[in-house]
Every structure is written in C-alpha cells, then in structure tokens.
Amino acid sequence: MRIKPFLLALAIPVLLASCNVVKMGLRHDTKVFQKSGLQPYTFTDQAGPHYVWSSTAPGSADDGRPKLMLVHGITSQSLMWAKNVKNLSKDYDLIIPDLISHGKSTTQWSGNSVDAQVAHLQLILDSLGIQKPVDLVGNSYGGAVVANFAEQHPTRVKKTGDPGRPRQRLYRRHG
C-alpha cells in the first residue's frame, strides 16, 4: 500500500501538534494554581525531590484557614486538581503534592509503595512546618494513601474525604 504524499504531509503537522497539547494543558493548569495563590516547593532528601504546591510557605505563620491536602490518583499528578483550586483556595490553605513517581517528585521507590507514599506526605507536611491536623482528600489510589496516612498518623489528620462519592458528605469525621 502506498501512502499518498498529500496525506503524509497532512498527518505530520497533526501528529506534531498533538504532542504539544499535553504541554499546553500543563502550562494552563500551572497558571491556574499560581492565580489561586499556590506556589511550587521542592524538598530533597536521600530519595530525591518531593514536589508540592502549597499556599503555605515553609515556616510561614498560620493564616487561620483550615489546611486541606489533595492527593491525586495513580495515573495523575498534582495538577489534576486545577478545576478545584480556585474555589477551594478561598476557604482552605491548600497542600497539593505530586506522589512518588508522579509529576516532578522522585522516581525512586523503597519498600511498600503505599507506605513510601505515606512517608512522602509526612515529609511534605514536616518540610512546610505544618504540625496541626489537616483535612485530607484522596482520589482513587490517593484515597488509599490518605486512608493509610490517617491510620498511621491519626494525630495529624482532622478529617478525610473521597471526592468520588458525590452523594455522600465530602468529609467524614476521623478518630
């Protein structure tokens, strides 16, 4: 079968443009985060970088708003929450990490993946200087990470939630 030069000439620009669509979406979502008062922070330890968007600067004073950590699912990254941050940032001090092997966080694993993710969230909270209990919402795999975090660190969790259950209350009392 012979491909006509016209079709080939048309297909190449379409394929090249489609590669840029993902980058354009990431740039857009980054701008949404920044307009909502979130800043990117990277904390590095022996495992590598731990990346988070937060409206709390490390070591800054508490502004009195409740703290809400949003944890993405397994095939996603922190920017998946872009459609939510504008409204949530009005009432919450947001903390939105990239889980290990996602987005800009380290790709190194050590031990059980969920336990490593729990340690990753703890490191981020510690690095931001957040000691008060936080509200946690996890999407899909992030929900499993949130549940394990709440089980392992009950004094650091105020409430947990699952955005995948719209008919239930978003938050459930913990502890």
Q: What is the pLDDT of residues 55-110, one digit of tens each?
A: 988 888 788 899 999 999 888 888 889 999 999 999 999 999 999 888 778 777 66
Buried b vs exposed e over 56-65: b needs ≥16 C-beta within 10 Å? beeeeeeeee
Q: What is the pLDDT of residues 159-172, one digit of tens each?
A: 998 776 554 444 44
E strand or H helix at 134: strand 134-138
Closest by CA position to 43, among listed 122, 124, 117: 124
pLDDT (0 to 100) of residue 172:
45
pLDDT (0 to 100) of residue 132:
92
pLDDT (0 to 100) of residue 89:
92
The CATH number of 5-173, from 3.40.50.1820, 3.10.20.600, 3.30.70.580, 2.30.31.10, is 3.40.50.1820
pLDDT (0 to 100) of residue 26:
83
Q: What is the dihedral of CA 54, 56, 57, 60, to 10 degrees?
A: -170
The residue written with tokens 């708003």 in the block is 65
User: Which are the contacts of 136, defined by CB distance < 8 A and separation ≥ 6?
Assistant: 68, 69, 71, 146, 149, 150, 157, 159, 160, 161
Domain extents in the chain: 5-173
Rg (CA), the chain: 19
Q: What is the pLDDT of residues 1-53, one digit of tens each?
A: 566 676 656 666 666 566 677 788 888 888 999 999 999 999 988 888 899 99
Average pLDDT of 149-168? Answer: 81
E strand or H helix at 122: helix 113-128
Please tell me the pTM assigned to this model: 0.82
